[in-house]
Structure 1
Amino acid sequence: MSLRAAVTITVPEVFRWRHSSATQRNTLVATFLGWMLNAFDVMLYSLIITRLMSVFRMDEATAGLLNALTLAASAVGTLLFGSLADRFGRRRMLNYSIITYSVFTFACGLASSVAMLALLRFLVGVGMGGEWNCGAALVAEAWPTKWRGRAMGIVLSGWAVGYALAAMVSGVILTYAGWRWVFFAGLLPVLLTSWIRRKVPEPAIWEHSRASAVSSAEKKALWRAAQPRLVALLIMNTFGMFAWWGLFSWVPAYLVLPSSQGGRDFQMVGMTTLMIVLNLAGMLPGYLSFGVFADRFGRKRSVIFYLVAAALLVPFFAAAREPMVIVVAGCIAAFFGTGFFAGSGTLGNELFPTPIRATALGLTYNLARGLSALAPWVIGRLGETHGLSWAFLACGVAYGAAALSGLWVPETRGLELS
């Protein structure tokens, strides 16, 4: 069936939590928490990167390379967990991915060398990549078309909450203990898995797909039909991921580093406060508002608008010097530069049929993370030679390239999953 034939016209309805079923609510809560805790674990490294640079005597390029390894590993994780989720279930693989990133984040606190820390960050990335496609497919298949954009926006807003929580926890821990204890806190997400196993069922559409399993030849035909859509979304996500990881993996260090090194010379407490504000006043409403726009005006149009806005706003953030201007410019840039991911996730779920959804979704999202894995390293190298504020301009260019690439992504508003 063509994509066009599968689209039906739906009139946006007011979202009401009480109108959803218990299964839908539990699925949404579980995936939100999984994504929130994913961000909590993954972003701990960026939040204490200056401390780690001092302890392990790393330069900016090496520190960025370790972040790049985590992103590259997410592509491995998406292939592993995505294919297993299509075969054995979204819920089961969601749990395994959470356990993976939690255990190896904890293990980072035991690292005694740069090589050991690099290996452990790679393994964190494997779990990080698996969590996304399992959780996103779970929500998309449990929620109806008319509210799917908002549901995905709520799920992805968990990243902003998790990032803010990581900033808060790391700031408190570093006040009383060493950097190793920051990573030890990363084991906490494991507690979520028992609740998911008891309260979250597999989606009915996946159960039906499993009962009427497609043949190998039919699955190959599905992949061939999906290829143009997959490539278009992958290119858009790759540019968007390069921009986001290049910018936000270096923002904490950018705020703390002295002005002589291209930073803004914030104190640790000031940086922690600003990162919390940036997430809760910028990223969080960006995610949540996108779902409303996408359900009303269309996924594609909303994604391109957010990406264009981010491309125009990043240079203003990079040029800001006064603390209040940095806060305002940072929040607005984070609103658009992060919010577009809700559209990427919604498009990815609606562009691909159930038998290949988790794998295809993961490829377009986490393979993009893998392809953009050099972003922290590139920005780190540019920061060494030109200063981070100038290096961030490359992120603005990447957001613009993502917006241009989005023109080739099909619109999916009103699509019923098949």
Structure 2
Amino acid sequence: MNTISDRARVARHRTPLNRSQIAGFWGAWAGWTLDGMDSFIYALVLTPALTELLPRSGYAATPANVGLAGSILFALFLVGWGLSFIWGPLADRFGRTKVLAGTIFTFAIFTGLSALSQNVWELAIFRFIAGVGIGGEWALAGTYVAEAWPEDRRKMGAGYLQTGYYAGFFLAAALNYTIGVHYGWRAMFLTGAVPVFVAILILLRVKEPEKWQKAEPNAVRSRPLREILGPVYRRRTWVACALLTIAIIGLWAGAVYEPSAVIQLATRAGMGKADAIRTASIATGLLSISTVLGCLALPPLAERIGRKKTLAIYFAGMAVAIAGSFGWSFYMPNGLVPFIAWLCVLGFFGGNFALFSLWLPEQFETRVRATAFAFCTSFGRFVGAGVNFLLGAAVLHMHTLGIPVALTALAFVVGLFIIPFAPETKGEVLPQ
């Protein structure tokens, strides 16, 4: 009989983690946290940065131009994310920890350089290259934790790892509430250079996973990109690409436009500029906390009812939350409080990304795992870049933020019809 005491006894006898596994996890988690912080810094400082840089580039800083330029720059950032698939084959060939450190170093340096931008073109270049580094971090961190942690711990490890990204959202909001309000957008970008120290820590303190060391001779001889697109893996590769594309479209549409939406609602409610920015930071913090809770709740649910049913629940929740926040409460006469309440729901179900950290490594063998993870996540970012550009154009054309973003809820409805084509890996061990 599976009682609570039985489960507690099993939990007490889980395989202990050694020093390298602990250090490796915290290095990956910290990198993913600072990755999330870096990604969200742009959303938080979008308006003040472009308001200053557009006139220097020969354009008026009108709300329409700020919105369009912001969407174009973010689309370029997502293209950089998409190009991050280059890190996967490198990690399968040269090792997880070395390449993970390289991704962190790349995004940290170019985020710091964004603070020196003198026009929108320089900012676009720096954000593009930072995107290449940021995009590779998730694939490498997820692959490392899946391979380095014992089988009886790796599933919760995926949930713990994913909380880092949204802890980064919270950290970005806290920095914006303090540093951003008082010292401006350039100081915010400078804080993004901090991850350099995490990269150095990973290089010096963390060993390669044993699974990769055992598979290394095969990794040298294999052509991982060709293999994941070959007959053995083709179906699961493209299904994973489709599901990740949907997750990226929906989450980024909501997360990127959330601060701007809150600022608009706060201004409509009579708040001054500084108070509106602080309110946006508080709302982002609540969104982040809710997403962390969603990440922690996901692995036990996935173990109980399976990966596919869990993703279906989270996708359905995202569809309802996006429609409720941007499609309904954004247009209420006093919509600020209801909008923030819906953001908490949006945040919880945005934890669906934790499932991919758990599920993707289970679908591919060690010699191609990092390549598969990086390819599937990168594909979604390319499509997300195009959708984000269309969103910006729709906002400009419709002269409203809510409806274009609310329409991204339809992507999750489509996702519900794709999920049945994915493999169910509940109860299976990580393939060698």
Query: TM-score when scaled to structure 1?
Result: 0.90
Which stretch has the larger CA shift, 250-259 or 212-221? 212-221
- Give the aligned residue type for 1:182: M
User: Any idea what the Cα deviations from partners look like across 1:341-374, whole Å, max 9, x if unmatched?
Assistant: 1112222111111111101111111221122112
Alignment match, 1:7: none
How far off its partner does 1:295 sit? 2.3
Determine if the alignment matches structure 1 residue 36 to structure 2 residue 43.
Answer: no
Say if 1:312 and 1:396, in contact at 8 Å, map to a contact too: yes
How far off its partner does 1:50 sit? 1.4
CA separation in 1, counterparts of 2:286 and 2:359? Answer: 29
How far off its partner does 1:160 sit? 0.9
CA separation in 2, counterparts of 1:359 and 1:44? Answer: 28
Give matches, 1:239-278, under 5 Å.
239-257=246-264, 267-278=276-287
CA separation in 1, counterparts of 2:217 and 2:211? Answer: 10
Determine if the alignment matches structure 1 residue 134 to structure 2 residue 157.
Answer: no
How far off its partner does 1:229 sit? 0.4
1:390 maps to which of 387, 403, 416: 403
Unaligned regions of 5+ residues in structure 2, if any? 1-6, 55-60
2:336 maps to which of 323, 331, 336: 323
Determine if the alignment matches structure 1 residue 284 to structure 2 residue 284.
Answer: no
Say if 1:167 and 1:272, in contact at 8 Å, map to a contact too: yes
Alignment match, 2:320: 312
Aligned residues: 405
User: Any idea what the Cα deviations from partners look like across 1:46-69, whole Å, max 9, x if unmatched?
Assistant: 001111231123431221111111
**Aligned-residue CA RMSD (Å):** 2.5
1:143 maps to which of 149, 163, 167: 149
- Give the aligned residue type for 1:273: I
SS state at 2:49 partner: helix
Alignment match, 2:57: none
Say if 1:246 and 1:376, in contact at 8 Å, map to a contact too: yes
- Give the aligned residue type for 1:415: E
CA separation in 2, counterparts of 1:235 and 1:15? Answer: 38
- Give the aligned residue type for 1:311: A
CA separation in 1, counterparts of 2:411 and 2:305? Answer: 24
Aligned-pair identity in percent equals: 26
Change (3 A) 1:263 1:361: farther
How far off its partner does 1:196 sit? 1.4
Say if 1:108 and 1:120, in contact at 8 Å, map to a contact too: yes
Alignment match, 1:4: none
Give matches, 1:391-410, under 5 Å.
391-410=404-423
Alignment match, 1:233: 240
SS state at 1:374 partner: helix
Say if 2:224 and 2:368, in contact at 8 Å, map to a contact too: no
Which stretch has the larger CA shift, 380-389 or 89-98? 380-389
SS state at 2:153 partner: helix
Which stretch has the larger CA shift, 189-198 or 66-75? 189-198
Alignment match, 2:58: none
SS state at 1:267 partner: helix
CA separation in 1, counterparts of 2:224 and 2:31? Answer: 32
- Give the aligned residue type for 2:183: A
CA separation in 2, counterparts of 1:160 and 1:249? Answer: 13
SS state at 2:124 partner: helix
Say if 2:47 and 2:66, in contact at 8 Å, map to a contact too: no
CA separation in 1, counterparts of 2:88 and 2:224? Answer: 18
SS state at 2:428 partner: coil
How far off its partner does 1:382 sit? 2.3
Say if 2:14 and 2:152, in contact at 8 Å, map to a contact too: no
CA separation in 1, counterparts of 2:269 and 2:67? Answer: 12
Say if 2:50 and 2:120, in contact at 8 Å, map to a contact too: no
- Give the aligned residue type for 1:180: R
Change (3 A) 1:16 1:397: farther
SS state at 2:233 partner: helix
Give matches, 1:86-235, under 5 Å.
86-213=92-219, 215-216=221-222, 220=226, 223-224=229-230, 225-235=232-242
SS state at 1:19 partner: coil
Alignment match, 1:303: 311
Change (3 A) 1:166 1:259: closer
Determine if the alignment matches structure 1 residue 73 to structure 2 residue 80.
Answer: yes
User: Any idea what the Cα deviations from partners look like across 1:269-311, whole Å, max 9, x if unmatched?
Assistant: 111111112111x111011111221122222211111101111
SS state at 2:408 partner: helix
CA separation in 2, counterparts of 1:115 and 1:207? Answer: 43
Say if 2:323 and 2:407, in contact at 8 Å, map to a contact too: no
How far off its partner does 1:156 sit? 0.8
Determine if the alignment matches structure 1 residue 53 to structure 2 residue 62.
Answer: no
CA separation in 2, counterparts of 1:188 and 1:17? Answer: 34
> Which stretches of structure 1, 4 residues or longer, exceed 6 Å deviation after superposition?
15-18, 259-266
Say if 2:93 and 2:220, in contact at 8 Å, map to a contact too: no
How far off its partner does 1:218 sit? 9.1
How far off its partner does 1:82 sit? 0.9
How far off its partner does 1:200 sit? 1.4
Alignment match, 1:355: 367
Change (3 A) 1:263 1:237: farther
Say if 2:241 and 2:377, in contact at 8 Å, map to a contact too: yes
User: Any idea what the Cα deviations from partners look like across 1:365-413, whole Å, max 9, x if unmatched?
Assistant: 1221122112333222222315112122212111222232222111112
Change (3 A) 1:191 1:242: same
SS state at 1:249 partner: helix
- Give the aligned residue type for 1:61: L
SS state at 2:208 partner: coil
How far off its partner does 1:148 sit? 2.5
Unaligned regions of 5+ residues in structure 1, if any? 1-10
User: Any idea what the Cα deviations from partners look like across 1:321-348, whole Å, max 9, x if unmatched?
Assistant: 4333222211011110x11111122221
SS state at 1:188 partner: coil
How far off its partner does 1:212 sit? 4.6
- Give the aligned residue type for 2:340: V
Say if 1:263 and 1:388, in contact at 8 Å, map to a contact too: no
Change (3 A) 1:297 1:247: same
- Give the aligned residue type for 2:281: T
